[in-house]
A and B are shown apart, each in its own frame.
Chain A
Amino acid sequence: MPLESSSQRRRPWEEKNPLIAGVLAYLIPGAGHLYQGRWFKGIVYFVCILGTFFGGMKLGEGAVVYHLPNNRFGISLNYLAQVCVGMPALPAIYQAKRAKEGSNQPVRELNAPLETPFIGQLVTYGPGEETVSGELIGTVELKTSFSGSFPETAGVFRGTMNGQQTELQLSGGLMIERPISAGFERPLECMVSRKLDQHPHESQAIRGTIPRALVDAYCAPPDPNKIKDLHGRLGKFYDLAIAFTMIAGLLNVLAVWDAIEGPAYGFGDEEAPDESSSKEPSSAAETPAKSEAKPLAAKA
């Protein structure tokens, strides 16, 4: 038996401005409920919705939430669902504009010296073949200088190859993926300086990734090659990651609705309507959905 009837209870969603609550609930899942003083619900929405969203982002290596305007609708269906999660997905709109800028091109020469962690491989190119000579972990230092009228990028890799300390002189053939793109790893490739005893038809290069800044990677649209790579490596997990982020957005629609209008079925402990006063007593008692829906009608 409830201690007080539902009509006597406080209705926190009616005590605060529903517009503010709705906007807060949209921007940060659960924030609207915290604003209304509904702590349990606020925490449930915050943890569940953001946990699902960022879980999906992690599973898809940060390349699942992006805005690539669809020619037919102006927005992709994926992003339409994802953007319902609010602030965590909104940067995609700005990142799409940044990614389109002309300056966002693959880097072949550097404006400033680069020193950054590097993980990758030493690849040896022979006539018609390509072999991996070792796994590299360390840092690369690169700098572009002008010899005559041609820019030349050179530098050094310091770190380990297959666990053993090594240092490789780098020279030319620099290619770094464009700065603003999805994924927290940015592919880099650079040729290794030729050695005196090296076979004339053989050359070596380092190929791997350097970290990409969070502001350049978060919600940025991925390159088509990146999507292919993710599909190849992650398989179904990539689709699952997209589904997680979309479901998080759709769940936030329920949370926003709850912040504005209150719970759909009332408090949850309302007494079932008196059977003698009901026109269809047997069906109301037998069907839980109908008995649950009664408080809504009473509220309206």
Chain B
Amino acid sequence: MTAEGFSLNGGSDDVAAEHRTSRNPLVRFLGTWVFSRDHKMIGLQFLFSSLIWLAIGGLLALAIRWQLAWPWTEIPIIGRTLFAAEGGQITPQFYNVLFTMHATIMVFFVVVPILTGAFGNYLIPLMIGARDMAFPTMNMLSYWLMWPAFGCMIWAMATPEQGPDFGWTAYPPLSVLFGDAQSLWTLGLVFVGISSMLGSINYITTVLQLRAPGMTLFRMPMTVWGLFITAILQAFALPVLTAALVMLLLEKVFQTGFFLPNGLEANAIQPLDGSGGQPLLWQHLFWFYSHPAVYIMVLPAMGMVSDMLSCGARKPLFGYRPMVYSMIAISGLGFIVWGHHMFVSGMSYFLSVSFMISTMLIALPSGVKVFNWLGTIWGGKLRMDSPTLFGLGFISMFIIGGLSGLLMAATPVDMVITDTYFIVAHFHYVLFGSSILGVFGAIYFWFPKMFGRMMNDFWGQVHFFLSFIFVNGTFFPMHFLGARGFLRRTADPYVVEGFRDLLPVNQFITWCAFGMAAAQVIFLINFLGSLFWGRKADANPWRANSLEWTIPNCPPHGNFASIPEVYRGPYEYSYPGHDSDYWPQSEAPA
């Protein structure tokens, strides 16, 4: 690899640069928004597409909530159009499509891409003092590959069965036997997998190879650590999922017999002549990726929250090295806990015991992180602005989501609560309460760097307050539903007599979900409004230390006028004897 790939000389190799200055508006548009190999532009592409999918996935969630609160009633406004044949109500088939697509979109099109694609791309080179990613073309391709995936999912929704209806976990035989949407769904995820793999190889190489002089590994901000470890997780886990998805596709299209057992009487039509496949094989392969994916979806947010909190408290991050070590421990243990998704699946129950112990142990590094965040704000000078609030909200929600995980680690208790709303409560506290709140905070925090303007802080705080209230209102009662055995993934749980008295709880949850959606409208208006009319921001509005704040907002291609020299870690806030309460990493010692 020559300097062409590493682009150390100011990005003069960028083929798109000349197009950006072209007189033809179409060429200019394509050069800027499509053919750009600038990591920042690719990050913004990921950011915008993820936010659009977040809105779509959120609307699907509201439809799910509608059905659970007022089952088989006409959906207001859109019901008549979407379900004309059924009198405006959701069909059981389409209900299954709803939660399948909600999960697929939120996991693969929102949380993973917004954390690694958007913030990973935008922040890694800026924070380590590099001009760009190690492989800019590969980076561009990693975003391009998302579009075939988007296309596949939308196409899947246009099939006669209205979309994939087997849950995002796609357990065979169900996911192999019925309909065509399954093939499109699988193909779409293969594209996502390849996209993420390209991204992760890029991030690992960039972090290892392109750090500025003086930027040792232990001077990297936690954001970079989170993204770096996430990239390692992806690089090792995603090939397994991608291979498994290809196997699933082959099973569907060519009846290869990886997963279908002999003697299956599918649809009560005729016995399928399987070839001795094993349905549990899919579950092992799927969760071998999808459990590390849980950490892929939270570690970068943990990193960004650490940076925002330290800056907001004007105080060093407490226990920087333990924080790094606990991230490494989480990623290591994360590879040997996947079996806890399968405690009642029929796999060896002796093996379950070892998965139970590793799952219990992974609570330890997560707990260490919480204690260290508390240590970070202890004795600080807490600045209560939108990013800090969302960071604090992240901790509060992560405590709940992390603790409820203990019940799932305990195998006998898991036997009772698995497949119920307790699980739904648990992972939404982590994925929505923690990761998405963390992402909101990060958007408020890095918005000035990305777009040169501040987001409105007052409306940011209102957005936080309402989101925080409604996240809890929506997800906290789900713990009680789960304790009662209230099942997830059922179109009409009230068919079961024992669940009928839980209808009012579900109606309360649905009202809170609508409130949460309304709170996001505030965010949307604030975001779009600030893009055009926000207050102009100076280069370092938060008085933060890391390298991206030393260069002008909306940094040009190539980022740094000259590669900075790094003298210290990123958390030297309120350093005794220093004349200001922050001390940028690249400021030369006196």
Bound together = no
B: residues with CB less than 8 A from A are: none
A: residues with CB less than 8 A from B are: none
